[in-house]
Amino acid sequence: MKNLAYIIIGTFLGVVLYKSEAASWFRIYEMFQFDSFHMYGIIGSALALGVVLVYLIKKSKIKSFSGETIIIPDKEKSFTRYILGGTLFGLGWALAGACPGPIYILVGAGYWPIIIVLVGALLGAFVYGILRSRLPH
């Protein structure tokens, strides 16, 4: 039952990101050119509601659907890993025109060359795992 719920949530996410065109390479390029409000509107309105919802969830101390205490962990404090990792990710995001969610969505949509991007992403995650102890964090 719960498994089905995750699949349905994912399906909904896939439809939303596809239909909002957040999974379109063109929209990502347009965003980095500051030529349209569209992507900023998506991220901005998601954040506006997201901040309120996360605040309410924390403040109300509401339990999860299965009755457990909800813990939203803070991100580990650092600067280096976020700025360096973030910049590398940004370079890839703009070139591929897709971040991890849209990569899976576009595989489903049948844009087969995106599989090369997915293979690259898996390779990148693997190489990070190998080099991790030698990188500044």
Eight-state DSSP code of residue 22: T
Task: Please list, in sequence order, all residues whose beta carbon lies within 8 angstroms of the beta carbon of residue 25, skipping any fewer than 6 positions away.
Answer: 96, 97, 98
Inter-CA distances, 116 with 38, 93, 125, 128, Å:
27, 14, 14, 18
Token duo for residue 131 = 């080099």
Identify the three-state secondary structure at position 63: strand
User: In the window 77-106, what residues touch another protein (CB under 8 A)?
Assistant: 77-79, 81-101, 103-106
Among 1, 2, 59, 134, binds another protein (CB under 8 A): 2
CB of 39: closest distance to another protein in angstroms? 8
Among 59, 61, 107, 134, binds another protein (CB under 8 A): 107
Among 1, 15, 59, 61, binds another protein (CB under 8 A): 15
CB of 134: closest distance to another protein in angstroms? 11
Among 1, 10, 61, 134, binds another protein (CB under 8 A): 10
CB of 112: closest distance to another protein in angstroms? 6
Token duo for residue 63 = 């339990």
Eight-state DSSP code of residue 74: P
Is 60 a binding residue for another protein by CB under 8 A? The answer is: no
